[in-house]
Amino acid sequence: MIKEQIKYVVLIVYMAYMVNPCVAQNRKVDSLQNIFNKTTQDTARLRVYIQLGFACDVTDNLKYSEPAIQLADKILTTITDTAEQKKILRFKIRAIHISWTYYTQDKSDTANLFACTRRITAIYKQMNDTLGVTFSLLQMANDYKTIGDYPKAMEYCQEGLALAQSKQYKKYVSSSFYTLGDLYAEQGDTVQAFENYQNGLSILYQLKDTNAAAYNLISMGMMYGKFHDTTKALECFRTSILLSEKKKVKSNIRRAYDGLGLMYSGMGNFEKAKVNYEKSLVISEALQSTNNNENDWLCVLLSNIGNIYIKQDSTSKALEYYFRSLNISEKSGYNNRTATNFIYISRAYVKQKDLHKANLYVDSALERSKNRTILKDVRDEEALAAQIDSATGNYKGAYEHYQQYIIIRDKLNSDEVRKAASKERFQSEYTRQKAIDKVEQDKKDTIAEDDRRKQRVITWSIAGGLLLMFVFAGYIFRSLYITRKQKSLIERQKLAVEQQKQLVEEKSKIVEEKNKDILDSITYAKRLQDAILPPLSMVEKYLPESFVLYKPKDIVAGDFYWMERVGDNILIAAADCTGHGVPGALVSVVCSNALNRTVKEFKITEPGKILDKVRELVLETFEKSESNVQDGMDISLAAISRKLLVDSAEIQWAGAFNSLWYMQNGEMKELAADKQPIGKTDKPLPFTTHNIELGKGDSLYLFTDGYADQFGGPKGKKFKYKAMQEKLLAISHQQMAEQKSILNKTIEDWKGNLEQVDDVLIIGIRV
């Protein structure tokens, strides 16, 4: 039995290791490093350097790009062949691009970012590669657009557009129009923005480049949204999704769903906004496994969903998404994004009236903002800090922060007023232009209708007699034509409907098969987890007056119960591992195995010492991982003498966070657990073994937190430990099987239509 459990644990750990993208990335880097160490030829070493630069984490880019650039320069001094020189120069461009990727993550170091693009442009000019020069000019325009220097961005974009048009690089002409549209949009010039977007889109349709067209439509949708034309904005996003799904371009679909979420959020339809943000999040998480640059988008989506929960007054749920975003932004080194997340979290804590935590996070945001160039964000941080200091009585700090807020606000005020005026002017121009276009079109339609009317009069005057001769024949011909046309149309519609039905059925079948595969895998995992649970027949054999109420939240669970007979003693435990579902189940396998080893292999039977050894084994298992695993379990463990079942005796008990309740002389009593988990902790202490004397008819209860934490009732609140203890006290005189039934009905009635929030486990034993 133990060998089988060990095999399952090893298999699970191995699978987790193999699917971890970070491990795969490290393996690739290590493999390339070994190849580099064995290579002596310079050109081959240059190739490996560049592969290392693209394979490593972004934070390590410079470690490989700079040596690669130096090696390329060294090789160029030794060769004279023009073709070979161009080949090495292209390698050098790729090496510089690796450095460029690094500086795009560090938004504060714009000097080195632009230096990289200028070096690449210079090399393309040296090679007389006009296509490369065009690409570099547009890249420079986008870099300046990123930092908000629109005049510079416009200058480089216009230069790139002129070169692309002169060489008929249609793809780059379209890209130039697209970038110009963004630049005009940022400056409030709506008419120019739409004109450039349309120019770029027309070229993309000519080229049949549906991917780029879908991308362009998203930007147009955002523009329509800014001017409250939500109907056209939603139409752009949905069209983009249809185009992208044909080519399965997930990045475009992700952006379009985010745009839909933004529109619905602005319309106050928060549920639809959340649905679309979640769809975008699922795609982003899938893309993250193959693209580390996806982390920035992932941060934005998680924060957007958190903002929706804030608007719905679900602050705890909002904090959950903000912290997920913060974890990614800190690991990825996104300084600006991290500071923004600190502000979101601080505002949420203000809403919860937890001003201490709110102050900690706004201070962290201001610390990160020392080198930030986005003054609007810094202004908002200073205002929030002043608000919190004022609320906590720190009036000096509030005054200082408010002073900084005023300074930054005044600095931004002139630009904001200018932009607002410009935006209003172009909004009016946009509305006026639409009205003029409508009048012009109505005028053209009227003139065209007059011309058609005159022509009809002349035609009927000349050909009236002739037409009368052919009225009957024309009527018959027209009837036949309409009949054939209607029949053809009906057949085409029928064929289209059948094809659509077949497509829907095929997609539905694929979804069903995937869902079945996932469900089958989890169901099989349940069989593996059930193998670690003691059979209820074994519990009833050694503890006849007992019950086990076990209700996993999902198919598999993080909670588990454990039992072992050692001589005249029965060891029984209720355990709650970190998480629930599949992650919790994996941790439960590790913890159950540690309990078995402690008792069977190390022959330890005292509860406190058992928990000490289990903690040691769990930490030993997780320390093998390269990740910083913080998982573990809370547990309530009792050692019951078999003599207790026929007479009074002493019970030994120890707990990690989970307490023990017992009924004695009609009174409910409690043994408090040690406030430390089975897992990693800052100051681990030996677990305490408690001894209690129980007599015939007394009862004891071991449990996890799932029952007390279940939301429900008329106000949707937690059941809580006090209500749980009162319920046990009220039913303690009942048979144990009846107690289980009452407890189960009580929690189901309390839960009602709400979702079960955690695994539920209660073990009751009567002497």
Q: Which CATH number does the domain housing residue 697 bear?
A: 3.60.40.10
Maximum Cα–Cα distance for the chain, whole Å? 123
Examine residue 432 and state whether it is found in any structural domain, yes or no. no
Domain that holds residue 484: 470-531
Q: Reply yes or no on whether the pLDDT at 756 is more than 80.
A: yes
CA 352/CA 313 separation, integer angstroms: 10
Structure-model confidence comparison of residues 697 and 186, the more confident one: 697
Task: Pick the closest to residue 557 from 588, 601, 599 (CA basis).
Answer: 588
Q: Contact, 598 vs 613, CB < 8 A?
A: yes
Task: For residues 497 and 630, state if they share a domain.
Answer: no
- Is there a domain that residue 562 lies in? yes
pLDDT for res 465: 64
132 is a domain residue: yes
- Both 66 and 87 in one domain: the answer is yes
Instruction: For residue 677, give the amino acid letter.
Output: P
Tokens of 88: 């090495």
Sorted by sequence, the CB contacts under 8 Å of residue 410 that are 6+ apart come out as none
Contact predicate 719/706, CB 8 Å? no
Render pLDDT for 483-534 as a digit per residue (tens, 0 to 9): 677 777 777 777 877 777 777 677 767 767 776 766 766 776 677 778 789 9
Question: Does residue 760 lie within any of the structural domains?
Answer: yes
Residue 698 lies in a domain: yes
Last residue of a domain, one of 180, 208, 236: 208
User: Taking residues 219-246, what's their average pLDDT?
Assistant: 84
Please compute the mean of the pLDDT values over residues 428-453 and round it to a whole number. 58
- 611 and 485 in a common domain: no
The Cα–Cα gap between 177 and 158 comes to 9
Spatial distance between the Cα atoms of 49 and 32, rounded to a whole number of angstroms? 8
Helices (H), 227-293: 230-247, 250-266, 270-288
Token pair 């004109």 in the structure block, residue: 195
Shared domain for 541 and 520, answered yes or no, is: no
Q: What are the tokens at 450?
A: 């007059």
Is residue 642 included in any domain, yes or no?
yes
Q: What CATH number corresponds to the domain at position 190?
A: 1.25.40.10
Residue with tokens 């609140």: 717
Name, in order, each residue with C-beta under 8 angstroms of 311's C-beta and a sequence gap of 6 or more.
265, 270
Over 361-380, what HEC string results? HHHHHHHHHHHCCCHHHHHH
Last residue of a domain, one of 102, 119, 138: 102
Q: Are residues 556 and 684 in the same domain?
A: yes
The label of the residue with tokens 């990614």 reads 328
Could you give the dihedral angle defined by the CA atoms of residues 533, 535, 538 and 544, in that order, rounded to the nearest 10 degrees? 100
Is the separation of the CB atoms in 735 and 766 below 8 Å?
no
CA distances from 612 to 609, 641, 655, 683, 765 (A): 5, 21, 11, 13, 25
Asked whether residue 444 is domain-assigned, the answer is no
Same domain, 490 and 554: no
The whole-number pLDDT of residue 6 equals: 35
Instruction: For residues 549 and 663, state if they share a domain.
Output: yes
Q: What type of residue is 80?
A: T
Q: How many domains does the chain have?
A: 4
List the single range of 203-212, 236-245, 373-382 with lowest mean pLDDT: 373-382
> Comparing C-alpha atoms, which of 150, 189, 191, 157 is closest to residue 175?
157
Does the structure show a pLDDT above 60 at 142? yes
pLDDT > 90 in the chain, percent: 21
Question: What pLDDT score does 641 carry?
Answer: 83
| Residue 619 shares a structural domain with residue 721 | yes
Answer yes or no: is pLDDT of 418 > 60: no
More confident residue, 441 or 267: 267
Q: Which of 223-237, 654-668, 694-708 has the lowest mean pLDDT?
A: 223-237
- Pick from 102, 128, 147: which residue ends a domain? 102
Residues 59 and 201 in one domain: no
Q: How confident is the model at residue 413 (pLDDT cuts 50, 70, 90)?
A: low
Model pLDDT, residue 7: 34
Q: How far apart are CA 270 and CA 261, in angstroms?
A: 8
The better pLDDT of the pair 646, 546 is held by 546
Q: At CB < 8 A and 24+ separation, what contacts does 70-76 make?
A: 71/42, 71/45, 71/46, 72/46, 74/42, 75/42, 75/43, 75/46
Q: Clarify whether residues 527 and 541 are in a common domain.
A: no
The reply to whether 706 and 732 lie within a common domain is yes
Q: What angle do CA 115, 119, 124 make, to 5 degrees?
A: 150
What is the share, in percent, of the chain residues with pLDDT greater than 70? 78
How far is residue 514's CA from residue 519's CA, in Å, rounded to a whole number? Answer: 9
The DSSP element (H or E) to which 654 belongs, if any, is strand 649-656
Asked if residues 359 and 342 have their Cβ atoms less than 8 Å apart, the reply is no
Residue 590 lies in a domain: yes
* Beta-strand runs (E) in 456-496: none
Asked whether 223 and 197 are in contact (CB, 8 A), the reply is yes
Coil, strand or helix at 138: helix
DSSP letter assigned to residue 674? B
543 and 527 in one domain? no
